Amino acid sequence: MGDVSTESSPSESEVEPPERERALPKRRVWVVFAVAALLWAIDLITKNLVVANLEGKEPRPILGGLIYLQVIRNPGAAFSMATGMTWVLALVAIGVVIAIVWISRRLRSVGWAIGLGLVLAGALGNLTDRFFREPGPLRGHVVDFISAFAPNGQGFAIFNIADSAICVGGALIVLLSLLGKDYDGTSTRGKKKETA
């Protein structure tokens, strides 16, 4: 008779589970909405304060003239693009909000949750202006009030907190993508190495 192996086969607990069965990070939906709510509130408060205190007044320099505060009503997008297309921009913002809410259910990355929360806050902040400010729903002008380096947007475009949130959130999402970090908490770099 042949030799019978006395080595026991590995138990189920010792076998490494396939990649998709491994424990995934917790869902991060709450991070998206916490970041979005905080930045949306800051955007609304700052816009209301500058409208109440600075509308119709000369630009006010702060930080030694690094920043000028002044109220500009913007009917277009960033850098005054798409002026006169306010209703289209409002519909695009609604689409962005819906997309972020839909994808947030599958988020497991804190970085992605923060990035999408910032973009969501920015979209909601400017969308609020487009709905509730003059001249009317879907045509409202966005309140911009931060002019960097010089008044009247001469040094850089005039923007607001919502615009800043969109830019920072978008940059964070691009950075995470370049680093191979997926929104579901996995890393594409690890996947590429395993398949190579």
> Which sequence positions are flagged as catalytic?
144, 163
- CA 122, distance to chain mean position in Å, is 7
Closest to 116 measured CA to CA, from 132, 104, 108: 104
Copy the structure tokens of residue 47: 């816009």
CA distances from 20 to 55, 191, 192 (A): 55, 12, 15
Cα–Cα distance, 107 to 124 (Å, whole number): 20
- CA 77, distance to chain mean position in Å, is 16
CB atoms within 10 A of CB 176: 17
